[in-house]
Structure formats: C-alpha cells, structure tokens
C-alpha cells in the first residue's frame, strides 16, 4: 500500500480530533474530486513500519478520538488487504479509539469484507458534484451515507451513525 500523507489533529474527517491516513489508489474518478492526486495507486510513498510508527505516535495522544482512512479510496482493491491488517492492529492497540473509513463503494458492496469487524464508521458512496452541499457534516454530497458499521452488521441493514 502507498500513501500521500498522515494528517494529525484533523477536525473535518470524522468526529473529534482525528489522525487521517490518505492512501493512494482510487478507481472511481469522481468529477471534481477534491483529491485527484491520490487516484494513482503507484503515487505517494510506500506505507512502511516508520509510517505506522508515526501513525501510532499520533494516536497515543489522549485528545485524539481516532483514525480515519481516506484517500484515494482505502477500499481500492489493491489496498484492502493492507487496510484490513492495519485497521486490526490499530483496533488491538487502541481499542478506545474509533476508526472511520471513507470509500466510494456503497455499503451493500463492501459490508461482507472481513475488515468491517474493525471499522466503526463508514462514509460510503461516490462524491457527486451535482449533489454537493457545503452544509453537510463529514461528507461532500448528499448521496453519501455515514454508517454505524457495528450496528449495521448486527441489524443486517445500513444503520446511520448518530453523532455523540
């Protein structure tokens, strides 16, 4: 897996102050995407042990609410195995921290992936510029859903996230 950046103290990509891992690779090519540089799966730099240490050091701060995977698309097929392993390690090391994941895929396309066991909130759906609304919280267009993954897995249907 490759990545472009690790953002610390982010307030825009999930609830609370978060660490965001911006991964490389996306095949959705959403019109007017805010981050097209991340589409190329070979772009950015390799995610290695040093990058994971940086991520964990940022997550150790008690004021950080959790980790957000964004990009690109963390669920780009070439990223899925690495994201699953990393999410599992993070959940084991920081069980009190939430993990959010942004993807252009719909819940119905990805809910059976094993990695969902370690994801707390999924923001699904492609960005659609014609449905863009700057008043939306944590998403760019009104077709995107903010899904409570664990409640959805239990219910067998998408359960929308309720802000704490």
Judge if pTM exceeds 0.75. Answer: yes
pLDDT in tens, 29-65: 999 998 999 999 999 999 999 999 999 999 999 999 9
In this structure, the strands spanning 98-102 and 66-71 are: parallel
Structural domain boundaries of the chain? 2-155
- In CATH terms, the fold of domain 2-155 is TIM Barrel (3.20.20)
**Of 8, 32, 33, which Cα lies nearest the Cα of 102?**
33
Dihedrals phi, psi of 73, to nearest 5 degrees: -135, 115
Residue ranges in the chain whose pLDDT is less than 70: 164
């Amino acid at each position: 897996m490759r990545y472009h950046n690790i953002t610390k103290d982010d307030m825009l990509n999930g609830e609370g102050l978060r660490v965001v891992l911006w991964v490389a690779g996306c095949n959705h090519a959403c019109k007017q995407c805010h981050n097209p540089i991340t589409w190329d799966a070979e772009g950015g730099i390799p995610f290695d042990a040093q990058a994971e240490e940086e991520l964990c050091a940022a997550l150790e701060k008690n004021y950080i609410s959790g980790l957000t995977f964004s990009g690109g698309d963390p669920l780009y097929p070439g990223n899925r195995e690495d994201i699953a392993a990393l999410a599992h390690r993070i959940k084991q090391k920081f069980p009190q921290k939430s993990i959010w994941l942004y993807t252009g895929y719909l819940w119905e396309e990805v809910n059976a992936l094993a990695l969902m066991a370690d994801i707390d909130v999924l923001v699904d759906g492609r960005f659609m510029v014609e449905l863009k609304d700057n008043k939306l919280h944590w998403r760019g267009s009104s077709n995107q859903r903010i899904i409570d993954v664990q409640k959805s897995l239990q219910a067998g249907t998408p359960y929308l996230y309720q802000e704490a």
